[in-house]
Amino acid sequence: MKFKKIIARKAEQEQSLNFTQLIVRSLLFLLGLAIFWILLLITSNVAKEELFLSEIPIVYTWLISLLLVITLWFVYLILITGDNTLSKILRNFKLYGTFGIPSDVGLKWWTAFIMIVCLYFSPPSLYSNINALYHGVIFEGKAILSEDGRGRDNRFVRVSVESRGEQYRFEGETKQFGSLRNKEVHITVYQGLFSKYALVEPAVMFNSGNFLQEKRQEADHR
């Protein structure tokens, strides 16, 4: 009798969610993910006005970010929707032809699409924001951005910065750093959770910003 109850309970657990339950669970999952993304963008210091440089090639940071999103989507499939067997997971990749896609499978793919859209609006990348949760300052000051060759394509440029006898190599977007190459900038080099990164602003902008801040402080004292 007890054995039959165990089998019945197991069969009940393996039953697919009804569509309403799937919608509710998916919305709660996306809500939790949105809160996580917002907190990440607030906590991280890379989604600011300064220009971003990455020690890792930027294309790689996007590939790592995409892998993170795919991993999260599989976690969603296994823990949230109950696709906890290989056959259930593979069902989401089955080609249904002219008969269309079942509504539950379509909802799961829409969830993946929304996650990828969120990834796109996490500049400079999801990996870079997670990496910047820890931001220990290695160097801050004025330096010359020396060109150190092109990135893997013309969209990116490699630059190097020398400080206290050490040379740091980074990659940035050509359209952002094209006018700053071989010029003096204000740069802050950080050690992130996994790799180094840097935030840059032209020295002129930095000096004018400090000048305005000093003037405001003088006005407040008066």
Asked whether 129 and 52 are in contact (CB, 8 A), the reply is no
Angstrom distance (rounded) from CA 13 to CA 21: 14
Is 192 domain-assigned?
Answer: yes
What pLDDT, on a 0 to 100 scale, did the predictor assign at position 24? 93
Question: Is 195 in the same domain as 124?
Answer: no
Is 216 domain-assigned?
Answer: yes
What pLDDT, on a 0 to 100 scale, did the predictor assign at position 219? 47
**C-alpha separations of 151 from 20, 43, 54, 157, 199 in Å:** 48, 29, 12, 5, 18
Q: How many other β-carbons are positioned within 10 Å of the β-carbon of residue 202? A: 15
What pLDDT, on a 0 to 100 scale, did the predictor assign at position 205? 47
What pLDDT, on a 0 to 100 scale, did the predictor assign at position 95? 79
Question: Which of 97, 131, 165 lies at the terminal end of a domain, its last residue?
Answer: 131
In the block, residue with structure tokens 């309403």: 20
Is 8 domain-assigned?
Answer: no
In the block, residue with structure tokens 């823990």: 79
What pLDDT, on a 0 to 100 scale, did the predictor assign at position 214? 43
Asked whether 151 and 57 are in contact (CB, 8 A), the reply is yes
- Paired tokens of 159: 């630059």
What pLDDT, on a 0 to 100 scale, did the predictor assign at position 151? 55
Question: Which of 72, 99, 131 lies at the terminal end of a domain, its last residue?
Answer: 131
Question: Is 151 in the same domain as 113?
Answer: no
Question: Is 31 in the same domain as 67?
Answer: yes
- At residue 106's C-alpha, the angle toward residues 112 and 70, to 5°, is 20
- Paired tokens of 199: 């935030």
The model's pTM is: 0.76
Q: Could you state, in chain order, the average pLDDT of each consecutive group of 10 residues for the chain (222 residues)?
A: 46 63 93 90 78 90 93 93 89 78 90 90 87 90 76 76 80 79 85 92 53 44 51
Strand partners, 202: 185
Is 7 domain-assigned?
Answer: no
Question: What is the extent of the structural domain holding 210?
Answer: 136-221
Question: Which of 109, 131, 153 lies at the terminal end of a domain, its last residue?
Answer: 131
Helix (H) or strand (E) holding 171: strand 166-173
What pLDDT, on a 0 to 100 scale, did the predictor assign at position 30? 93
